[in-house]
Amino acid sequence: MLAPTPPMGWNSWNTFGGDVNEEVVRQTADAFLDTGLKDAGYEYVVIDDCWSLRERGPDGRIVADPDKFPSGMKALADDVHAKGLKFGMYSCAGTQTCAGYPGSYANEEPDAQTFAEWGVDFLKYDYCYKPAGTDGKALYRRMGQALRQTGRPILYSMCNWGQDEPWKWAASCGAHMWRTTGDIVDSWKSIQEIGFGQAGLECYAGPNRWNDPDMLVVGLYGKGNVGFAGGCADAEYRTHFGLWCLLASPLMIGCDVRSMTAFVHDLLTAREAIAINQDPLGVQARRIGEAWLHGEVWAKPLADGSVAVGLFNRTDSEPRLIPLPWESLGLHDRREAIVRDLWTCEDIGAFRGSYVAQVAPHDCALVRVRPCL
């Protein structure tokens, strides 16, 4: 299995957009090691759109832009591998990528072969410029088959923005993860719409098959390619990261990891939050308490019999007390359980019947409830 737990890594798009180049990729890989991201579990360094020349070569092969990638993709992949990391790239099911570079339509086999020769471990496959009358599922199946045919294990990240309910068929095309929505931007509105909008998709996720609510905007603070009107506050990024951990979402960092603030670093490496994302049971959280005075409660069962719970305050200015009755977790009222704060990695205490969290506006409490024996 290539993705027994949700894939973790970094993708160039949210910060760099069309300005990606090999220096950024190398320095990002270095930062994975220097800042502890690799030790925290981040593994894939992925180049998104805008890496190739506008035209294919005379042999029909796709060509890396020599100005942006003077060493070539094979050498760059080797460098990334030498650091113990994995190398990801991007193409598109249509005739062009979304930014107008060559897509893989009708070139699936040679392109998959090129990626395999370069040492690519991860392919994000987009959906722009699909020729009229073609069937999207068939195009995704074609690239899935072409990737398998190379004989190289390549994680297949499907990006059709949630069209045609991909959660129902993407895995059968060989995809290990699939986007469930349009593109995220660096705003509280976007985080909420996408994150809380995942309710109901939990039954489609599991080991090797993950719903993907798009890459993280944690740490953009309004800058970069999807930066937006000042970006988000720290509490909002905490909600974003906590929710993506609960959702068993792929954790693809989008900020510039060469210059993270201490807060962003500590959030992206939050050990016990990542542990619930990477829990081997692979269950995606479901909403168990809805819109109680703008509070929401989401629960993710874990392999050891405990349950991870996020308590979210979606009001704009009011702190809220958000209750978590044991009944909503399937626990008997009289059962004693230990509640642990997964942000501070400390036990809060033993509780019977329920727990109540005080949560600041736009923030979230992230706890684990472990029934006592």
Main-chain dihedrals φ then ψ at residue 271, nearest 5 degrees: -60, -50
Kindly tell me which of 13 and 87 has the beta carbon lying closer to ligand GLA: 13
Kindly tell me which of 212 and 279 has the beta carbon lying closer to ligand GLA: 212
Exactly one of 75, 99, 199, 331 binds ligand GLA (CB under 6 A); that residue is 99
Task: Give residue for tokens 């003077």.
Answer: 70
Give the Cα separation of 158 and 194 in Å (integer).
17
The string of DSSP codes covering 102-129 is B--TT-HHHHHHHHHHHT--EEEEE-TT
Give the Cα separation of 200 and 197 in Å (integer).
8
Stretch of 28-36, 51-59, 92-100, 282-290 contacting ligand GLA, by CB under 6 A: 92-100
Give yes or no for residue 183 binding ligand GLA (CB under 6 A).
yes
Q: Which of residues 101-140 bind ligand GLA (CB under 6 A)?
A: 126
Task: Give the three-state DSSP class for 262.
Answer: helix
Q: How far is the CB of 75 from ligand GLA (least distance, A)?
A: 24
Give the Cα separation of 94 and 105 in Å (integer).
5
Number of residues lying near ligand GLA (CB under 6 A): 10
Residue 78 bears catalytic tag: no
Give the Cα separation of 181 and 213 in Å (integer).
6
Residue 126 bears catalytic tag: yes
Give yes or no for residue 186 binding ligand GLA (CB under 6 A).
no
Give yes or no for residue 98 binding ligand GLA (CB under 6 A).
yes
Alpha helix positions (H), 17-164: 22-34, 37-40, 73-82, 108-118, 136-150
Stretch of 96-104, 203-211, 247-255, 322-330 contacting ligand GLA, by CB under 6 A: 96-104
Q: Are 129 and 96 in contact (CB under 8 A)?
A: yes
Q: Which of residues 140-159 bind ligand GLA (CB under 6 A)?
A: 159
Q: Which of residues 34-53 bind ligand GLA (CB under 6 A)?
A: 48-49
Main-chain dihedrals φ then ψ at residue 301, nearest 5 degrees: -65, 140
Give yes or no for residue 296 binding ligand GLA (CB under 6 A).
no
Q: How far is the CB of 13 from ligand GLA (least distance, A)?
A: 5
Give yes or no for residue 13 binding ligand GLA (CB under 6 A).
yes
What's the gap between Cα 255 and its chain centre? 13
Residues that bind ligand GLA (CB under 6 A): 13, 48-49, 97-99, 126, 159, 161, 183
List, by residue number, the catalytic residues: 126, 183
